[in-house]
Structure 1
């Protein structure tokens, strides 16, 4: 198990749920509402799991590898993107399900999320696979999966100040078990 693969799996599920919405008849507002509610909740849970587990690990790994600037920029972009996705998801609630305006708001949320996922897949996940060894990625995957399982009923959306988030994450100590230790960073 690898945290980067779990994140990719979540991205696939997000894409799948957006695609399902596109295939439901607009008059079936119960189905549209149910799928959208699941997707909106999942988007937030995924973002918060990344913010709690993945991005702090990426920051610490990058600092240890003397790539602080690159990983800080990736984390800043990700938190900014998460805020944009939260705002787009919140905008959907202002429209009646199944209307043109609702579909347009859902499409905006899809675009914000798709842009974020593409950038994260190209940069953050790739960088982390270069910096972190398989044992660390496995350990983080267990933590990530457990976090999502514990919060399966959803989490409250909260925008974060990107710079404040990065500074706070950098100040947090890596786990004492050594999973973010320098020695494990170069393992392949």
Structure 2
């Protein structure tokens, strides 16, 4: 088990769940709502697990990769991305599934999440693979999975100040 592989696997699952929304009859608000509820919770718990388990270690051992000058730059950007995703999820959650306003918020969440995943895969995950040994990557994967299991019903999805997060976790 490797934290970087687990995060990559979850990114694939997130992409699949957004694609599933495209497959549902646009008039079937119950089905759209059910899939969205699961996806929204998944996005929120995933981000919280990264913030609790992964990013503090990126700050500790990372050096910057994929265009980022430092692990702090990578992490600040990632926390800001998580806030953008959370905000779009909250907007979607406030709308009736299937409405134009709901779709707009879902698309905003999808775009923010897609941008975040691409950047995270290019920077944070690459940086961590280069500087964390397999033992640490395994240990963090187990902690990540336990965190997700404990919070499977959802989690506080409040925005975080990226600079404060980095300062508190360095």
Q: Same fold by TM-score, threshold 0.5 exceeded?
A: yes
Q: Summarize the alignment of residues 88-103 of structure 1 with structure 2, pairs less than 5 Å apart.
A: 88-103=88-103
Q: Pairwise mapping of residues 1-188 of structure 1 onto structure 2 (< 5 A)?
A: 1-62=1-62, 70-170=70-170
Query: Per-residue CA shift, 1:67-90, capped at 9, x if unaligned?
Result: xx6100000000000001101111
Are the counterparts in 1 of residues 29 and 96 from structure 2 also a CA contact under 8 Å? Answer: no
Greater shift, 100-109 or 159-168, is seen at 100-109
CA distance in 2, matches of 1:25, 1:101: 17
Which stretch has the larger CA shift, 112-121 or 102-111? 102-111
TM-score (norm: length of structure 2): 0.94
CA positional deviation for 1:161: 0.6
> RMSD over aligned Cα, in angstroms?
1.3
Q: Name stretches of at least 5 consecutive residues in structure 2 with no aligned partner.
A: 64-68
Look up the SS of the partner of 1:168 in the other structure: helix
What's the CA shift for 1:62? Answer: 2.6
Counterpart CA distance in 2 for 1:80 and 1:43 is: 14
Q: Which runs of 4+ in 1 moved over 2 A?
A: 93-96
- How many Å apart are 1:169 and its aligned residue? 0.7
- How many residue pairs match? The answer is 166
Please identify the structure whose Cα radius of gyration is greater. Answer: 1
Cα displacement (A) at 1:146: 0.8
Separation in 1 of the partners of 2:134 and 2:109? Answer: 33
Which residue of the partner structure matches residue 66 of structure 2?
A: none
| SS of residue paired to 1:98 | coil
TM-score, length of structure 1 as denominator length: 0.85
Shift of 1:114: 0.4
